[in-house]
Amino acid sequence: MTAINAKADAVYFGAGNLNMRARSSANFNIDDIQKIASLCSENNVK
């Protein structure tokens, strides 16, 4: 949400092991992808 609120044109992220922060406790999982894609679409963010 921070990127969307900051009026970003695009958001890049990874999920699970496909993430530069794969060892972080704050990591997206595969189930989050649809939610994130919907939020981006609703806010005209790629």
Q: How far apart are CA 9 and CA 31, in angstroms?
A: 23
Token match 């969307």: residue?
A: 4
- Predicted TM-score (pTM) of the model is 0.68
The residues facing 28 across adjacent strands are: 15
The pLDDT score that the predictor gives to residue 35 is 92
Query: What's the chain's Rg over C-alpha atoms?
Result: 11
pLDDT by residue for the chain (46 residues), tens only, comes to 789 999 999 988 877 777 776 677 677 888 888 899 999 999 999 9
Q: How far apart are CA 35 and CA 23, in angstroms?
A: 22
The pLDDT score that the predictor gives to residue 22 is 63
Token match 């060892």: residue?
A: 23
